Structure 1
């Protein structure tokens, strides 16, 4: 096993162990407590918080990928090229309004809970996926597309059998960036009553307990690192397979 893979496997096992048996890690976090404060956050089930956190990210990034990739495909077709400025404006909305501002605007409409957080994560993650999809599809060698056309492929076949496989590494890269950002940003959802790992961090801030802040940050950080590595592996695999999409 490669050293890097061994380290990542260790991180994953430690993360799982902590979420399942947090009390066992009390000696690790006790030095960071003050005035005999509890070393482990037990007000909520940590595994449940982590799963809710991951589900919010999965739904938001999944919807964002469908929208952003769809827009990227649309504007790289001759019939949809004129919609590029509008599509880019839509993708930039999330970067124009920071997530906390989106929460402030959506809570009066959607109420407290996960819905405002989903909207914030969705909007904030559109741009990386859209721009990478646009770059990937626009960067396909015209000679390759022409060869596919000469082989008798229809427009749809060229898109799904040639262009998308070649663009997939870049698309996955955009989804990776969006997902890692969403994992970190989802913590703010706890300010509007969404059940995320931000609850642990906020609990530490309110009780002046650095141990809670540290463990919340470490769990979020570990999730982000593992997700980043998983997508990086998928990107490399897609890049190796991209050559098989070349016609002939």
Structure 2
């Protein structure tokens, strides 16, 4: 019974989240004590469901782009012809961690305007480092006997990469993607400061109007999404590790 408890808790969180973003008025009695002077308890300047989906879409697009670039760089610098580009690649992926998200947004807005684009740039830059470092670690710590067997079987470099290296590296790369997604989920909220449609809109509206109910519901939705997505990606990571015969950590 105890083994099922975490799964039941996650299912309960998922159901509560779905109900809240689709029918938030049901929770008004719980949030009303946090308001003053007749202020609304439920965010009323847009749809929570729409904002949640737009928030997730922004994170997804940025993560996919960061994954493609980071994994490609890791592959490049682990080939004999690309080893010399490792310092440059590390410098590039560290850019997002060097500048705070607000600074990236401030620099991106004059170039691409307000809206989702500067937020995507910030999330893309922030998501590169964990994916790149995990991919690099995975590709440089592959079992030597497996690689020798692949060479002995007459595989070309491309075949070894696609059929041996990337499949064996997948669990570790997924770990980097998981970290990147969680970082992006939280960071995306600041995108609303430059007119991006994210859940940060709810939090900012609450701060401006001194309405803790808005701040709480925006923060709780982001937190629930982070927990559920983290757990989901962790499960995929464990599945990939088992398929590769690496076991679950």
Aligned partner of 2:56 in structure 1 is 54
Q: Please tell me whether residue 73 in structure 1 is matched to residue 79 in structure 2.
A: no
Query: What SS class does the counterpart of residue 94 from structure 2 fall into?
Result: helix
Q: Distance in 1 between matches of 2:105 and 2:11?
A: 35
Query: What SS class does the counterpart of residue 211 from structure 1 fall into?
Result: helix
Aligned positions, number: 244
Shift of 1:194: 0.3
Q: Distance in 2 between matches of 1:205 and 1:47?
A: 20
Shift of 1:158: 1.1
Tell me if structure 2 keeps the 8 A contact 1:125–1:182. yes
Tell me if structure 2 keeps the 8 A contact 1:166–1:243. no
Aligned partner of 1:148 in structure 2 is 150
Q: Distance in 1 between matches of 2:105 and 2:204?
A: 17
Q: Distance in 2 between matches of 1:242 and 1:139?
A: 14
The one of 160, 163, 170 equivalent to 1:161 is 163
Aligned partner of 1:176 in structure 2 is 178
Shift of 1:162: 1.1
Q: Distance in 2 between matches of 1:143 and 1:155?
A: 16
Query: What SS class does the counterpart of residue 243 from structure 1 fall into?
Result: coil
Q: Distance in 1 between matches of 2:205 and 2:72?
A: 40
Q: Distance in 1 between matches of 2:48 and 2:182?
A: 20
**Runs of at least 5 residues in structure 1 that lack an aligned partner in the other structure:** none
Which string of whole-angstrom CA distances, capped at 9 and with x for unpartnered residues, describes residues 219-245 of structure 1? 00000001100110011001001139x
Shift of 1:35: 2.2
CA-atom RMSD in angstroms: 1.1
Q: Distance in 1 between matches of 2:68 and 2:80?
A: 20
Query: What SS class does the counterpart of residue 245 from structure 2 fall into?
Result: helix
The one of 96, 99, 104 equivalent to 2:98 is 96
Shift of 1:62: 0.4
Q: Distance in 1 between matches of 2:143 and 2:222?
A: 40
Q: Distance in 2 between matches of 1:60 and 1:17?
A: 27
**Scaled by the length of structure 1, what TM-score is found?**
0.96
**Runs of at least 5 residues in structure 2 that lack an aligned partner in the other structure:** none
